[in-house]
Chain A
Amino acid sequence: MNFSRPLKGLITGLVLITSLSMASISFAAVVAIENAKVATLTAAGTIESGAVHVSDGVITWVGLGSDAPVLGADAERIDAQGHWVTPGLIESHTQLGIVEINAESSSSDVRVEEFPMGPAFEVRYALNPASVLLPISRASGVTAAVVAPAAGNDPLAGVGVVISLRETLDPAEMLLTENLALFGGMGSRSAKFVGGSRSALMVRLREALTAAKRFSPGRYVADERGYSASDMAALKRWLSSGAPLALSVNQASHILQALALANDFKFPLIILSGAEAWKVAPQLAAAKVPVVLDAMANIPIDFDSLGARLDSAALLHKAGVTIAFTSENTHNAGWIRQGGGIAVANGLPFDAALAAITSGPAKIWGLDDRGVLAKGKVADLVIWSSDPLEVTTHAEKVMIDGEWTSLETRQGRLLERYRDVSNTVTPYGYR
Chain B
Amino acid sequence: MTPVFVDGGAQKADPIGSRSGKGAAARALVPLMSALAGVLFAGSASAAPYDSTYAPLEAPAYVIDNATLLTGDGRRLDGAQIVLAAGKIVSVGTSAVELPANAVRIDGTGKWITPGLIDVHSHLGDYPAPAVQSTADGNEVTSPNTAHVWAEHSVWPQDPQFPLALAGGVTTLQILPGSANLFGGRGVTLKNVPSRTVQGMKFPGAKHALKMACGENPKRVYGSQGKAPGTRMGNMAGYRTAWAKAKEYVAKQDLAKQDDSEDPPDYNLQLETLAGVLRGEILVHNHCYRADEMANMIELAKEFDYKITAFHHAVESYKIADLLAEQNICSALWADWWGFKLEAFDAIEENIALVDAAGACAIVHSDSERGIQRLNQDAARAMAAAQRMGRDIDEAYAITWVTRNAAQALGIEQETGTLEPNKAADVVLWNQNPFSVYAQAEQVFIDGYRYFERDKRVPVTDFELHQTVQGGGSR
Contact = CB atoms under 8 A, between A and B. Distances in A.
Interface of A: 100-104, 133, 296-303, 305-311, 329-332, 338, 341-342, 344-347, 389-394, 411, 414-415, 418-419, 421-422
A250 to B, nearest CB: 12
B145 to A, nearest CB: 23
B474 A389 contact: no
Contacts of B348: 411, 414-415, 418
A394 B370 contact: no
16 contacts: A298-B164, A301-B129, A330-B339, A331-B340, A341-B436, A345-B437, A390-B436, A390-B438, A391-B384, A392-B381, A392-B436, A394-B388, A411-B348, A415-B349, A421-B319, A421-B358
Count chain A CB atoms within 10 A of each CB in B358, B377, B389 and give the residue with the most: B377
B380 to A, nearest CB: 5
Interface string B348-364: 11100010001000000
A307 B471 CA distance: 12
Nearest to B344: A101
A419 B389 contact: yes
Contact of A345 (B380, B439, B464): B439
Contacts of A415: 348-350, 354, 389
Contact of B435 (A392, A418, A421): A392
Given A332-B337, A345-B438, A390-B437, A303 B383 contact: no
Interface string B300-339: 0000000000000000001111100000000000001111
Nearest to A421: B322
Q: Which 9 A-B pairs have the closest CB atoms?
A: A341-B437, A331-B339, A103-B341, A392-B384, A311-B474, A309-B469, A411-B348, A102-B340, A345-B438
A132 to B, nearest CB: 9
Contacts of A344: 437-438
Contacts of B341: 101-104
Nearest to A307: B469
Contact of A302 (B131, B340, B370): B131
Contacts of B161: 299
Contacts of B130: 300-303, 305-306
Given A302-B132, A389-B437, A392-B380, 8 more contacts: A100-B339, A102-B339, A102-B340, A104-B341, A297-B370, A300-B129, A345-B440, A347-B474
B320 A421 contact: yes
Given A101-B340, A310-B475, A299 B435 contact: no
A330 B339 CA distance: 9
Count chain A CB atoms within 10 A of each CB in B131, B338, B349, B469 and give the residue with the most: B469
Contacts of A422: 322
B370 A309 contact: no
B340 A346 contact: no
Nearest to A294: B370
Contacts of A347: 474
B474 A310 contact: yes
A300 B468 contact: yes
Given A310-B474, A346-B474, A418 B440 contact: no
Interface of B: 129-132, 160-161, 164, 216, 318-322, 336-342, 345-350, 354, 358, 369-370, 373-374, 377, 380-381, 383-384, 388-389, 435-440, 464, 467-469, 474-475
A310 B475 CA distance: 5
A303 B377 contact: no
B336 A332 contact: yes
A390 B436 CA distance: 6
Contacts of A392: 380-381, 383-384, 435-436
A301 B131 contact: yes
Count chain A CB atoms within 10 A of each CB in B320, B381, B384, B437 and give the residue with the most: B437
A332 B469 contact: no
Contacts of A297: 370
Nearest to B383: A392
Contacts of A306: 130, 467-468
A133 B344 CA distance: 13
A411 B319 contact: no
A394 B384 CA distance: 8
Contacts of B383: 392
Contacts of A421: 319-322, 358
Nearest to B216: A103
Nearest to A341: B437
Contacts of B467: 306
B384 A298 contact: no
B82 to A, nearest CB: 24
Count chain B CB atoms within 10 A of each CB in A307, A338, A392, A418 and give the residue with the most: A392
A103 B474 CA distance: 33
Count chain B CB atoms within 10 A of each CB in A103, A341, A344, A347 and give the residue with the most: A103
Contact of B347 (A102, A299, A411): A411
Nearest to B438: A345
Contacts of A311: 474
A49 B341 CA distance: 44
Contacts of B318: 418
B287 to A, nearest CB: 15
A161 B74 CA distance: 48
B437 A391 contact: yes
A400 B130 CA distance: 41
A332 B319 CA distance: 22
B437 A300 contact: no
Contacts of A411: 338, 347-349
A307 B342 contact: no
B468 A307 contact: yes
Contacts of A389: 437-438
Given A301-B131, A346-B474, A390-B437, A419 B354 contact: yes
Contacts of B468: 300, 306-308
Contacts of B160: 299-300
A336 to B, nearest CB: 12
A303 B132 contact: yes
A133 B475 CA distance: 32
A347 B454 CA distance: 14
A306 B464 CA distance: 8
B342 A101 contact: yes
A342 B475 CA distance: 12
Contacts of B440: 345
A420 B139 CA distance: 38
Given A342-B437, A414-B348, A421-B358, A309 B474 contact: yes
Given A332-B338, A341-B438, A421-B321, A298 B475 contact: yes
A151 to B, nearest CB: 16
Contacts of A338: 377, 437
A429 B464 CA distance: 54
A331 B338 contact: yes
Contacts of B336: 332
A391 B377 contact: yes
Contacts of B349: 411, 415
A297 B369 CA distance: 10
A325 B401 CA distance: 29
A297 B318 CA distance: 31
A298 B470 CA distance: 11
